[in-house]
Amino acid sequence: MTEKSDKVRVRFAPSPTGALHIGGGHTALFNWLWARHCGGKFILRIEDTDLERSTKEYEQTIMSCMVWLGLDWDEGPDIGGNYGPYRQSDRLDIYRDYAEKLVNEGKAYKDGSAIIFKVEPGQDISFKDIVYGQIDVMSDGLREKDSDKLKDIVIIKSDGMPTYNYAVVIDDHLMNITHVIRGEDHISNTPKQILLYRALGWEVPEFAHLPMILGRDKKKLSKRHGATSIYEYRDMGYMPDSMFNFLALLGWSAGDDKEIFTRPQAAEWFELSRVTRKAAVFDFDKLNHINQEHLKALDPLVRLSMVKPFWIEAGLDVDSHDDKYLADSLTLMAGRGQTAKEMAEFSDYFVSFEPVKARWNAEGIDREKLKPFFADLFSHEWKAEILEQAARDWVSSQEGAKMKDYAMPLRFALTGMKVSPGVFEVAEILGRDECRRRLEFYGMI
Ligand code: GLU
């Protein structure tokens, strides 16, 4: 059933034992894409049977990270649904009932307070994965380590909690899950789960395992490669739209010309059958590029809302300006800075003169040469094109003068930087009075 159908029900089933990591966010996103592509349902199920390591705080962070990424769910512990409860710790009776049933049918046995499922030899538990293709496994392969004995599957542990391989089958079946989409590290669990489906007399869902995500050195992505949790990217100034776009491209592509896209576009184009099994490499350059493109395309006021927190964090007094002024400044910056944080750093001079002073002290500046030029400049209307033309006229009237002899000191005095958007455009946005104040401070007028 890989074709589009609104019967499609997929789930993201995180264990709340940590923040939402890149791998988890990727899995959640692919499930979301498939559900939205098919007009089906995306379910959030919390797998909190590891009572010691699971916390409500992690559950909350995972959910808020999903919200940040724009991955909304249709059923889940917070909003309910027809197939709940959606937290495994609230389903313990269900797991016990089915385990007892398996014991009564002779398919499982008790060992103290634990319940163990019997693995019978000679069973073909091969399956066809939508991404990885045919995976051939015989139950005889499920052996105890270094032994000929088949390894039976613990389904209820002695502390009464279900094991992952068992609870996942019960839940995926009772929640009517049609496609199990998860990381490739679960391929080896799948045959065991298939045995349990069969023993319970249930139809086996489709499986689509997602490729592993590697660092640039081709090793499994880990802390060594930099930030691993989704929130760290938010804090670095990456935008949810770009993180979404970037994660979607790990193991999937909509075609070469479709690199920058929105959520609805991705949902429209997404195909499970186009997910590759080749491990995907987490490439920061690509993430930066994608983020930059999204920053450029943003509505000015939305862009402002992304950048403002970083100005505030840098101690700049954003409240002394209105939003239109700040948004216009950033529109002029568009294309500069790959993250909202970088954009805030590159544009601090629009918010305050203080960082300019901290960067530049006007050492070695020939003020006497500049004064008549600025006096002339201030006699014109304060519009970028007019100022630029006036500067050109001035330069051509001076023997041997070059534009940069004037434009560079002006840029330094206004921005404290070597590179900026067109200096006359910067001057126009800052306004005549603010420009005068800055040039006066440096004794250039
Ligand atoms: N709780 C499991 C995990 O986080 C879910 C795996 C699955 O999707 O079956 O790895």
Per-residue pLDDT tens for 231-255?
Answer: 999 998 899 999 999 999 999 998 8
- Find, among 240, 425, 250, 239, the residue nearest to 338 by Cα: 239
176 class by beta-carbon count within 10 Å (0-12 exposed, 13-18 middle, 19+ buried): middle
**CA atoms of 399 and 389, how far apart (whole Å):** 18
Which runs of E-coded beta strand occur in 22-170? 41-44, 108-111, 114-117, 127-129, 133-135, 153-156
Most informative mutation of 21, 32, 186 for ligand 1 (most atoms within 8 A of CB) = 186
**CA atoms of 317 and 307, how far apart (whole Å):** 13
Task: Take residue 69 and report the two structure tokens written for it.
Answer: 């990424």
The yes-or-no verdict on residue 1 having pLDDT over 90 is no
What's residue 334's pLDDT? Answer: 75
Banded model confidence at residue 3, pLDDT cuts 50, 70, 90: low
Q: What percent of the chain has pLDDT over 90?
A: 89
Residue pLDDT, tens place only, 110-124: 999 999 999 998 999
Tell me, in angstroms, the distance from the centre of ligand 1 to residue 182's CA: 7
**CA atoms of 357 and 22, how far apart (whole Å):** 40
Q: What is the mean pLDDT of residues 78-100?
A: 97
Q: What is the mean pLDDT of residues 184-201?
A: 96
Banded model confidence at residue 170, pLDDT cuts 50, 70, 90: very high
Residue nearest atom 4 in ligand 1 by C-alpha distance: 14
What's residue 4's pLDDT? Answer: 60
Tell me, in angstroms, the distance from the centre of ligand 1 to residue 18's CA: 13
Determine contact, residues 138/123, Cβ cutoff 8 Å.
Answer: yes
Q: Ligand 1 atom closest to Cα of 189?
A: 9
Task: Take residue 223 and report the two structure tokens written for it.
Answer: 């802390």
Residue 205 identity: P
**CA atoms of 357 and 415, how far apart (whole Å):** 9
Burial 190-218 (b: 16+ CB within 10 A, else e): bbbbbbbbebeeeebbbbbbbbbbbbeee
Q: What percent of the chain has pLDDT over 70?
A: 99
Banded model confidence at residue 227, pLDDT cuts 50, 70, 90: confident
Tell me, in angstroms, the distance from the centre of ligand 1 to residue 262's CA: 27
**CA atoms of 337 and 293, how far apart (whole Å):** 10
What's residue 149's pLDDT? Answer: 74
Residue pLDDT, tens place only, 386-418: 999 999 999 999 999 999 999 999 999 999 999
What's residue 8's pLDDT? Answer: 97
Q: Ligand 1 atom closest to Cα of 11?
A: 8
Strands of the sheet containing 108-111, edge to edge, are: 108-111, 114-117, 153-156
Task: Take residue 90 and report the two structure tokens written for it.
Answer: 């609230």
What's residue 63's pLDDT? Answer: 98
Q: Ligand 1 atom closest to Cα of 168?
A: 9
> Measured at the alpha carbon of residue 262, what is the angle toward residues 256 and 264, in degrees to the nearest 5?
110
Side-chain half-sphere CA neighbours of 252 within 13 A? 27
Q: What is the DSSP string of 424-435?
A: HHHHHHH-HHHH
Ligand 1 pocket by C-beta < 6 Å: which residues? Answer: 13-15, 47, 168, 182, 186
Banded model confidence at residue 221, pLDDT cuts 50, 70, 90: confident
Residue nearest atom 6 in ligand 1 by C-alpha distance: 13
Give pTM, 2 decimals.
Answer: 0.87
12 forms bridges with which residues in the sheet?
44
**CA atoms of 186 and 197, how far apart (whole Å):** 16
What's residue 48's pLDDT? Answer: 96
Banded model confidence at residue 223, pLDDT cuts 50, 70, 90: confident
What's residue 139's pLDDT? Answer: 87
Tell me, in angstroms, the distance from the centre of ligand 1 to residue 430's CA: 53
- Find, among 406, 385, 384, 386, the residue nearest to 395 by Cα: 406
Residue nearest atom 5 in ligand 1 by C-alpha distance: 13
Side-chain half-sphere CA neighbours of 18 within 13 A? 9
Q: What is the mean pLDDT of residues 95-104?
A: 98
Residue 208 identity: A
Look at the block and give the residue holding tokens 């389904």: 155
Q: What is the mean pLDDT of residues 343-367?
A: 96
What's residue 140's pLDDT? Answer: 85
**CA atoms of 14 and 30, how far apart (whole Å):** 14
Most informative mutation of 53, 168, 175, 194 for ligand 1 (most atoms within 8 A of CB) = 168
Residue nearest atom 3 in ligand 1 by C-alpha distance: 14
The yes-or-no verdict on residue 127 having pLDDT over 90 is yes
Q: Ligand 1 atom closest to Cα of 182?
A: 8
Q: Ligand 1 atom closest to Cα of 185?
A: 10
Active-site residue list? 223
The yes-or-no verdict on residue 2 having pLDDT over 70 is no
Tell me, in angstroms, the distance from the centre of ligand 1 to residue 401's CA: 69
Which runs of E-coded beta strand occur in 149-205? 153-156, 179-183
Determine contact, residues 382/428, Cβ cutoff 8 Å.
Answer: yes
Assign 180 to helix, strand or coil: strand
Specify the pairing of strand 213-214 against strand 280-281: parallel
The yes-or-no verdict on residue 434 having pLDDT over 70 is yes
Mean pLDDT of the chain: 94
Q: What is the mean pLDDT of residues 426-442?
A: 98
Tell me, in angstroms, the distance from the centre of ligand 1 to residue 15's CA: 7
Most informative mutation of 47, 62, 178, 179 for ligand 1 (most atoms within 8 A of CB) = 47
Expressed in percent and rounded to 5, the helix, strand and coil fractions of the chain are 50, 10, 40
Tell me, in angstroms, the distance from the centre of ligand 1 to residue 45's CA: 10
The yes-or-no verdict on residue 199 having pLDDT over 90 is yes
- Find, among 106, 133, 136, 134, the residue nearest to 123 by Cα: 136
Residue pLDDT, tens place only, 141-168: 888 777 777 789 999 999 999 999 999 9
- The Cβ of residue 189 has, within 10 Å, a number of other Cβ atoms equal to 13
Tell me, in angstroms, the distance from the centre of ligand 1 to residue 185's CA: 10
